[in-house]
Amino acid sequence: MGAQILVAGLGNLPLPLTRHSVGHYVLDSLSARLGAHFSLNKSMGGYYAETTINIDGSPVALGLFKPKPLMNISGPSVAAALHKTARVPSSLIVIHDSLDHRPATLSPKHGGSAGGHNGIRSTISALKTNEFHRLRVGIGRPDSGVSDFVLGRLPSFERQFWSPEGPGLDLVMEQIERIASQRVR
């Protein structure tokens, strides 16, 4: 059947547990909580897992996707995964880091510009639309040295917050369920 909702987490596989890879970390936590197991899907260009969640009494197929290419060029992989699963951009949720939001916060958004985020810019370019959902994971903004900051290790408090048992993952699940309930009506 394929996923009805595709959740893509952006990050850099060679740099796990960094602020820039918090999207991958959140997906790893989701897969652990939901009992879904990632495997490499070469046709999608990344790691994919699928499970079913219950939304308003109806089963919803949920795909989880971590692109293999580095974040700034991950859009074509996200587009390939969407094409092979949920098919329509309104069924896509992209989870990514946000310098514009305080650490340990989640800010949902639908549509709009990339806001300076190269992974989102790549996704918009590959999909040829910005009409997809985003869950922006706050990492805060340093006074200087943005590159070193985003490539720095995710602090232990934030790792715990976004862990499978953490309150941040509850927020992520609430947003996924909200978006999915709109899709199944």
With respect to residue 60, please indicate whether it lies within any of the assigned structural domains. Answer: yes
Give the pLDDT of residue 3: 63
* Spatial distance between the Cα atoms of 111 and 133, rounded to a whole number of angstroms: 7
Residue owning tokens 């994919």: 48
With respect to residue 108, please indicate whether it lies within any of the assigned structural domains. Answer: yes
With respect to residue 152, please indicate whether it lies within any of the assigned structural domains. Answer: yes
85: region left, alpha or beta (phi > 0 left; psi from -120 to 50 alpha): alpha
Count of the separate structural domains present in the chain: 1
Q: Which residues are catalytic?
A: 20
97 within 8 A of 25, measured Cβ to Cβ: no
Residue owning tokens 């850099």: 12
Give the pLDDT of residue 1: 43
pLDDT in tens, 79-123: 999 999 989 999 999 999 999 999 999 999 999 999 999 999 999
Give the pLDDT of residue 55: 87
With respect to residue 174, please indicate whether it lies within any of the assigned structural domains. Answer: yes
Short-list 40, 78, 100, CA closest to 113: 100
With respect to residue 10, please indicate whether it lies within any of the assigned structural domains. Answer: yes
Range of the domain at 54: 5-180
Phi, psi for 22 (deg, rounded to 5): -65, -30
* Spatial distance between the Cα atoms of 150 and 138, rounded to a whole number of angstroms: 11
E strands, 16-167, in order: 39-41, 46-55, 58-67, 92-98, 106-110, 133-138
* Spatial distance between the Cα atoms of 134 and 145, rounded to a whole number of angstroms: 25
Question: Helices (DSSP H) in 71-139: which residue ranges?
Answer: 75-84, 118-127
Q: Which CATH number fits the domain that encloses residue 70?
A: 3.40.50.1470
For Cα atoms 162, 166, 172, give the angle at the middle one, nearest 5 degrees: 60
**Residue spans of the chain under pLDDT 50:** 1
With respect to residue 185, please indicate whether it lies within any of the assigned structural domains. Answer: no
- The residue type found at 18 is T
Tokens of 33: 């909580």
For 167-171, the CB contacts below 8 A with 24+ separation are 168/26, 168/104, 168/106, 168/137, 169/26, 169/29, 169/30, 169/33, 171/106
With respect to residue 146, please indicate whether it lies within any of the assigned structural domains. Answer: yes
Give the pLDDT of residue 185: 56
